[in-house]
Structure 1
């Protein structure tokens, strides 16, 4: 079983269920972080000390407050942690149940489990931790299994999400083209980006780009 686990969640109440589960599994060391930047710093320090975390249990939503952070969501935290510690196991523990968002977590960030917060959270979290340790597949809350089986979600990939995110921020096509080229994201020409946006409009039955962004937000894609 895992011996060193980090819990990233900004609500103390949610920590209690996770801690109870980890204690029942005899996990020797449990640390906490209420901010994404704080969690990443703990991961970096643990690596530097030669005692890396083996498992990260993270929420997706972190409420903004007076403290300024570079990382502001579970997705951003997971991506950063994976760069620092590629072998770490990651379980998302969240109330989020949007199919597209969950599917992308598995496909793009390669998380090891997803547990929906709710009445059976302790049982489901325990099961997810055990499965992650054994590296078993389809490690997800039973009521969300349809997410992995829903073929429509497979048509939306990480490129689409990045593109819609930039559109939601009001970034022009010229600037999106420049950013994609800088980051090595392909296709990255203005014409190919326009074609991709049109494809997304058709897929989501959006009347225009503003409507596309609104639909994506409703579905939890961005």
Structure 2
């Protein structure tokens, strides 16, 4: 079983539950942080001291407060973690249920398991930890059901997500073009972006841009 586990969770009631699960599994070293910045610091210190963590359990959402942070979400934490310790096992424990976002956590960030917070989450988390330790892949809690091989979202690229996010923020076509040029994102011409937006509207069967944004939000794309 895992020897050293880090829990990143800002709600005490949830972290107590997660820690209890880990204690039941006889994990020797369990550390808990409420901020993603602190989690990354602990990960780096573990590596520096030659005592690395072998599992991270993290929420996705962290509430903002008086403290300024560089990393504000579990997804950003995992992305940063992959740069310093890519081989660490990663379990996400969250209420998020959007299939696209969950799939992207597996496909783009290499998480090992996803457990949704719910009525049976304690047993689900315990099972996920055990299966992750056995190197099983793409572990999903039983209350979530979708096919990883479903091609529904394969055509949606990061380029499309960038367009949708800017549309959701109220950017007009020329503004998106200027933003893409500043970020060296191509294609960045207004006509190319407009064609892509029209393609997205057809893909999602959206009547207009407002409808498109609403659908994108429902799917967790923005």
How does the TM-score come out when normalised to structure 2?
A: 0.87
**Counterpart Cα distance in 2 of 1:192 and 1:48:** 47
| Contact 1:37 1:70 survives alignment (8 Å) | yes
| Contact 2:91 2:114 survives alignment (8 Å) | yes
| Partner in structure 2 of residue 6 of structure 1 | 6
Counterparts in 2 of 1:131 and 1:160: CA distance versus 1, 3 Å? farther
| Contact 1:90 1:111 survives alignment (8 Å) | yes
| Contact 1:9 1:34 survives alignment (8 Å) | yes
Matched, 1:78 2:78: yes
Computing the radius of gyration over CA atoms, which structure comes out larger, 1 or 2? 2
Task: Point out the more displaced range, 54-63 or 171-180.
Answer: 171-180
Counterparts in 2 of 1:215 and 1:36: CA distance versus 1, 3 Å? same
Q: For residue 42 of structure 1, give the secondary structure of its aligned residue in structure 2.
A: helix
Q: For residue 148 of structure 2, give the secondary structure of its aligned residue in structure 1.
A: helix
**Counterpart Cα distance in 2 of 1:208 and 1:130:** 47
| Partner in structure 1 of residue 219 of structure 2 | 219
**Counterpart Cα distance in 1 of 2:2 and 2:144:** 25
User: How big is the shift at 1:146?
Assistant: 1.8
Q: For residue 140 of structure 2, give the secondary structure of its aligned residue in structure 1.
A: coil
| Partner in structure 2 of residue 179 of structure 1 | 183
> Unpaired segments of 5 or more residues in structure 2?
none
User: How big is the shift at 1:153?
Assistant: 3.5
| Partner in structure 1 of residue 98 of structure 2 | 98
| Contact 2:180 2:188 survives alignment (8 Å) | no
The structure that is helix-richer by fraction is 1
Task: For residues 32-87 of structure 1, give each alpha carbon's deviation from its aligned partner in whole angstroms, at most 9, with x where no partner exists.
Answer: 11111121121122222221111111111111111111221111111111111111
Matched, 1:134 2:134: yes
How does the TM-score come out when normalised to structure 1?
A: 0.87
| Partner in structure 1 of residue 206 of structure 2 | 206
User: How big is the shift at 1:137?
Assistant: 2.1
**Counterpart Cα distance in 1 of 2:163 and 2:29:** 40
User: How big is the shift at 1:210?
Assistant: 4.1
Counterparts in 2 of 1:159 and 1:127: CA distance versus 1, 3 Å? farther
Counterparts in 2 of 1:119 and 1:54: CA distance versus 1, 3 Å? same
**Counterpart Cα distance in 2 of 1:209 and 1:180:** 24
User: How big is the shift at 1:152?
Assistant: 2.0
Q: For residue 148 of structure 1, give the secondary structure of its aligned residue in structure 2.
A: coil
RMSD: 2.1
Counterparts in 2 of 1:143 and 1:188: CA distance versus 1, 3 Å? same
**Counterpart Cα distance in 2 of 1:47 and 1:18:** 23
User: How big is the shift at 1:156?
Assistant: 3.0
Runs of 4+ in 1 over 4 A off after TM superposition: none
